[in-house]
Chain A
Amino acid sequence: MTAQPVPAESAPRDVADESVHARLERVWANKPGLWGWITSVNHKSIALRSIITAFAFFALAGVEAALIRVQLARPENSLIGPDRYNQLFTVHGSTMMFLFAVPVVQSVALYLVPMMIGTRNVAFPRLNAFGYWTYLIGGVLLYVGLFTNTGPDQGWFSYPPLAGPEFSPGKRVDIWAQMITFTEIAAIVAAIEIIATVFKQRAPGMSLNRVPLFVWAMVIMSFMVLVAMPFVATASMMLAMDRLIATQFFNPAEGGDALLWQHLFWFFAHPEVYIIFIPALGMVSSIVATFSRRPVFGYTAMVLSMVSVAFLSFGLWVHHMFATPLPQTGQSFFTAASAMIAIPTGVQIFCWIATIWAGRPRFTTPMLFVVGFIALFTIGGLSGLMIAAVPVDLQLTDTFFLPGHIHYVLLGGMVFPLLGGVFYWFPKITGRMLSESLGKLSFWLLFVGVNLTFFPQLLLGMAGMPRRIYTYSADTGWGPLNMTSSVGAALLALGIIVLVVNIARALASEPNAGADPWGGETLEWAMSSPAPDYNFAYIPIVHGRSALWADTGPLEAVSGLREDRREVLETTMLDAEPDARHEHPDPTITPLLAAIAVGITLIWGIFDPIAFAVGGGLSFFALVAWGWPRREKPNTREIVETPQ
């Protein structure tokens, strides 16, 4: 590498000349037009459309929540009847958990992880495209159901026998169960991609102890997905079979057991909360480091805390079932496990506070969202201690305390970091900055909104209001708190609208962000904004945990990857030594075909089991097309590290 002047902070930090960029662009670009859109295997194209899809579902679920709050604002309100109300809260919960929260954190990972670890695409790019299409089909299926008055109405937890064939005739629950199958396929393949990418495609020098905390969070989340999701996929399949072909897994009248479902479901659904939450921790770490201008304090402690949260989260599921009931000793075990998970969570909060303490923070919008996260999530965590204590839980479970608690946890613990992340990474994704003043307005509307909406719900729970009721009488005295909660929900909606306006304004403006507007710590800020299709012209060599702070100026880089085909550098798992060059697939339609085959199978399967035979055949042909060998291009170059 020839000595060059230190570039301005906002210029890309690579040394490739224009011709290299042009050659790579030719090879890595999507095909033009609609055909290019549906055949893309580029991780950024797919992840971005997945993020947008997830936010669209977030907005739909938000509208459902708003309708719920309008209905509950006054006692004896007759706006929405029980049938529609039950569909609304079921679809709200199912959308937020399965179509928004998990897909959005995985998509953020699929967008950013390859850039942060210095590679050009995710491992298994076609699987990535396939995952998106299955997710989209599953989500559309749920909403076709809702809009045709066939929306699931049994609750997002689908307890049999209520969700069984006898008490939920019709196709509502089947639509829910197949939606689960679609989204679990998508989540599992995304997890596999993330793990393989991080373990095999890190830039040379990024040994495991130099992996950014964000990437650690995503890897840990992915392992959790691989363990947890098969449980719900199995359970939803068993439920679908109970309904379609009269297996009797959950039917007590035929020797099945209603409680079996609850164990299977919560063994997935408790870790699910942490599957959503741990990626948010990764986003918080990125934001805190950059805006405190120092690495997050306690790297090892942070990683080990996330790992222990992941392990412990699998030991908590029974605390959703304390009233079913359980023997005293067993209860104490799960209370203790629930308390134990507070320790690693606390360690992380302490470490961020320490980072700010020793840092030189700038209170930009992303940083405000992080402080808001600490203030809100801590309420979520502490209210969790109330319901982890068996005796108190017996009073509070299935009351409005629970929606209050879970929304403090999920809005405070996941949505706030995610929105901080939107403000933080928006310049990288679009090349444009979001307005700080509108951003701060959004923040305050949302912060006040969350408290105004959900603190009254904590009080309502203690006042004895059960959850999932479509109406209540005036003599309960629950009216004023419910009205307060509904007013808070209006503020939340306003905060989101201001955010949408902010994004629209930014998109209408000229690109102004430069490569690195914040002075970021990790590799995604080394390339131009928006990033080129191939991310890095030359794969950088990493010299420390803070890849971009370790040295200034152009990054030392690896050369030798071919520029006439899609090649990525594979490195060893622990030390990230260059290991192999791997050719990635060109754009292809086969993932979409495979997803359509799966879609036909699962949707038709709601009506007739013959679909599984036909769909199996269709999937076979799609997969044969997918796996059809391509002609090799001759190998012409050797890997060399550029001399310093």
Chain B
Amino acid sequence: MSAMTWAGSIFDTAGSQAERIARLAWFIITVSTIVYVLVLAATALAVRRARARTARGDLADQAPETERRLTRHVLIATGVSTILLLVYVTVTAQTGRAIAWPMNSTQQPLTVEVTGHQWWWEFRYRDSVPSNWLSTSNELHIPVGRPVRVILLSNDVIHSFWVPELHGKQDAIPGHRNTTWLQADRPGVWKARCAEFCGYQHAKMAFDVVAESPARFNQWYVSQLASASPPTDTSAKRGQDVFVQRTCVMCHTISGTPAGSRVGPELSHLATRPSIAAGSLPNTRENLSRWILNPQLIKPGVHMPPNPLPPSEMNALLDYLETLK
């Protein structure tokens, strides 16, 4: 079915957990379809038989032998249903066990703390060496073939973390520390969305998932650990001044600058990200400009205020943001 290979569907799998789930889903769909056809066929047969009797002018059938025959048929149908349901429960439990952990992996897991915010995602990579801890926003990179332990947190409302290509959802609930496991078995770039209704901009709370080879992942990791490179040309320098003197600094972090607030997404390497505004827009100069000027037009209700910067300041700011590789 063409719909079923749609990018982003639960059948477009990139990991063993999603794969097992897709297989279970197909099994249930197949058996359900057969059962459905049988129920409709039984109804159609009943109607045909009864119509024939009506045509003959017979009365409704309440003879004891008919009642006995019907009892037998209803019992058989119930028995078959029960057996099918037992199979269903067993297969479901087996799949449930199988997907709790990514299988066949001896590698040391990667640990990522994921915090859902209204309406963006924060990712903190944990490492045994604290100086290797990495914080990023709205973009999750993972190495192919290595299990990832995802710890889910929230400080505001309930969100739900969902990468359909890899695994089912897990909720991020304030006051709870939930854990789920992922493992990508092939490289890919996917859009992941918040699945639990979380207020005005639940619709625009996505993030990009990039599964890549361990070598490329390490390269990315090292580059992200580095402080943002200081601007060199004059316009970008002026842009940095705009950033730290205007409202931007009150919510955002850019490493290596005085901007260190944790209210909004961290922006140290903004220019490397494919999208802005939690997966709402492609990361282009024009979109950035629109977004900064009035985020309320793009994501009504978002916690970022409008920033009516004069064009010269805006240009300088955009020049600066584009240097944040």
Contacts and interface: CB of A to CB of B under 8 A. Distances in A.
Partners in one complex: yes
B7 interface: yes
Interface core residue of A159, A259, A464 (most chain B CB under 10 Å):
A464
Contact of A353 (B43, B53, B191, B202): B43
B28 A466 contact: no
Contacts of B178: 324-325
Contacts of B301: 82-83
A391 interface: yes
Given A359-B60, A382-B35, A394 B7 contact: no
A301 interface: yes
A31 B200 CA distance: 51
Interface stretch (B164-172, B248-256, B314-322): B164-172
Contacts of B85: 339-340, 342-343
Given A390-B96, A464-B164, A472-B203, A398 B25 contact: no
Interface string B187-215: 00001011111111111100000000000
Given A323-B171, A324-B173, A470 B203 contact: yes
B1 to A, nearest CB: 9
Interface in B135-180: 156-158, 160, 162, 164, 167-171, 173-176, 178, 180
Main secondary structure of the interface of A (DSSP, over half): helix
A342 B78 CA distance: 10
Contacts of A382: 32, 35-36
Contact of B96 (A331, A371, A395): A331
Interface core residue of B4, B45, B99, B173 (most chain A CB under 10 Å):
B173
A357 B28 contact: no
B74 A323 contact: no
A294 B60 contact: yes
B140 to A, nearest CB: 17
Contact of B8 (A331, A339, A464): A464
A258 B174 contact: yes
Nearest to A166: B156
Interface in B94-127: 95-97, 99-100, 118
Interface size class on chain A is: 35 or more
A374 B82 CA distance: 19
B28 A462 contact: no
Given A162-B158, A360-B54, A386 B3 contact: no
B96 A323 contact: no
A396 B10 contact: yes
B157 A83 contact: no
B305 to A, nearest CB: 17
A477 B7 contact: yes
B45 to A, nearest CB: 7
A392 B32 CA distance: 14
Interface stretch (B65-73, B233-241, B263-271): B65-73
Contacts, number: 254
Interface string A431-474: 00000000000000000000000000001001110111111100
Interface in A61-115: 81-83, 86
B222 interface: no
B9 A462 contact: yes
Interface in A379-429: 379, 382-383, 385-386, 389-399
Interface stretch (B16-24, B223-231, B284-292): B16-24
A89 B78 CA distance: 38
Interface in A322-339: 323-325, 328, 331-332, 335-336, 339
A387 to B, nearest CB: 10
Nearest to A396: B10
Given A294-B62, A476-B8, A328 B199 contact: no
A227 interface: no
27 contacts: A83-B200, A159-B158, A257-B175, A259-B176, A298-B71, A323-B170, A324-B173, A335-B93, A339-B89, A342-B85, A346-B77, A347-B74, A356-B50, A359-B50, A378-B40, A383-B32, A386-B28, A391-B20, A395-B10, A395-B21, A398-B169, A462-B3, A462-B4, A464-B9, A466-B195, A468-B197, A477-B6
Interface of B: 3-4, 6-11, 18, 20-21, 24-25, 28-29, 32, 35-36, 39-40, 42-43, 45-47, 49-51, 53-54, 58-62, 66-67, 70-71, 73-74, 77-78, 81-82, 85, 88-89, 92-93, 95-97, 99-100, 118, 156-158, 160, 162, 164, 167-171, 173-176, 178, 180, 191, 193-204, 300-301
The 6 closest A-B pairs by CB, nearest first: A394-B168, A252-B175, A469-B203, A294-B60, A357-B46, A382-B32
Interface of A: 81-83, 86, 155, 159, 161-162, 167, 252-253, 257-259, 292-295, 297-298, 301, 323-325, 328, 331-332, 335-336, 339-340, 342-343, 346-347, 349-351, 353-354, 356-363, 371, 374-375, 378-379, 382-383, 385-386, 389-399, 459, 462-464, 466-472, 476-477, 481
Given A343-B82, A353-B46, 16 more contacts: A258-B158, A301-B74, A332-B93, A339-B88, A350-B42, A353-B43, A359-B61, A360-B50, A391-B92, A392-B168, A395-B10, A395-B168, A397-B168, A398-B160, A462-B10, A466-B202
